Amino acid sequence: MEKLVREAQELFNVHITGRQVMSLITYEKELLAWNQKFNLTAIRDSESIRTKHFLDSFSCVLAWQANPPASLIDVGTGAGFPGLALKILYPNLKLALVDSVGKKAMFCQHIVSALGLNDVSVIQARAEDLGHNKNHREAYDWAVARAVANLNVLSEYLLPLVKVGGTALAQKGETARAEAKSAGKAIKLLGGKLRELIPVKLPDVEDDRYLVLVDKVAATPEKYPRKAGIPAKQAL
Ligand code: SAM
């Protein structure tokens, strides 16, 4: 873990305390163990978990610098990335983790209990349904997602959940620029405005990575998100 601690500091100016290291060790151990039984993530060795899950999740801090959000929703969180890794860094964060798959939500809940984390709700649901739930619609400062859908589809998952004045953050690979361009219409329809792409370079990872930031500048029209499954089939 020393390497992860050093790289987080050097790359993202993130200071990880001894207690947070203990939490990351538990998280990693449980992820490796659960992966034997359920297929939670394709990344299956400690070294890759540290770089491709923990460090990559930590890169989100580049988006908010000294001003971490008070509330954040992670859509399609899978085994908790990036949301749960960020919660370990920011214990005061009010966090919602969403995934439509039961075993993934179950694993996230297991980690929340094992680490004794407060203010985390784990929700097994489709993003499209949550976007019409009054407890979640336009309720979050930030909505984040990694590896869930193309940006035109993802915008319909994320932007309805973000407060006006908040931001949606998509962690993307080399297609980020092209996706941002082709999602222009969807972003505008949903009340968003593309702010910027922040490049991220991870050690020993070839691909360029980007944080795509979309500000919520207007309320999302009531008809969005469309019914579960439609955004992916008929992207805006
Ligand atoms: N974000 C995690 C990561 O980067 O490791 C998981 C990525 S995994 C490739 C995509 C996840 O998104 C899956 O767990 C899937 O169940 C979830 N997902 C896809 N579409 C969704 C939707 N419309 N609502 C909720 N979850 C969704």
The answer to whether residue 123 sits within a structural domain is yes
pLDDT at 41: 80
Closest C-alpha to ligand 1, atom 11: 76
The answer to whether residue 103 sits within a structural domain is yes
pLDDT at 14: 94
Q: Which residues of the chain have pLDDT under 70?
A: none
Given a contact cutoff of 8 angstroms between Cβ atoms, the answer to whether 59 and 52 are in contact is: no
Q: Which domain holds residue 209?
A: 68-233
pLDDT at 100: 98
The answer to whether residue 24 sits within a structural domain is no
Distances (CA, A) of 191 to 11, 57, 67, 113: 32, 26, 23, 36
pTM of the predicted model, to two decimals? 0.97
The rounded Å distance from CA 2 to ligand 1 centre is: 30
The answer to whether residue 129 sits within a structural domain is yes
The answer to whether residue 47 sits within a structural domain is no
Given a contact cutoff of 8 angstroms between Cβ atoms, the answer to whether 164 and 191 are in contact is: yes
Ligand 1 pocket, 78 CB below 6 A? Answer: yes
What is the domain-level CATH number for residue 203? 3.40.50.150
Ligand 1 pocket, 99 CB below 6 A? Answer: yes
pLDDT at 10: 96
Q: How many residues does this entry show for the chain?
A: 236
pLDDT at 42: 83
pLDDT at 43: 81
The answer to whether residue 2 sits within a structural domain is no
The answer to whether residue 1 sits within a structural domain is no
**Which ligand 1 atom minimizes the distance to the CA of 77?**
1
CA angle 144, 196, 181 (to 5 degrees): 90
The answer to whether residue 131 sits within a structural domain is yes
pLDDT at 205: 85
Number of domains, the chain? 1
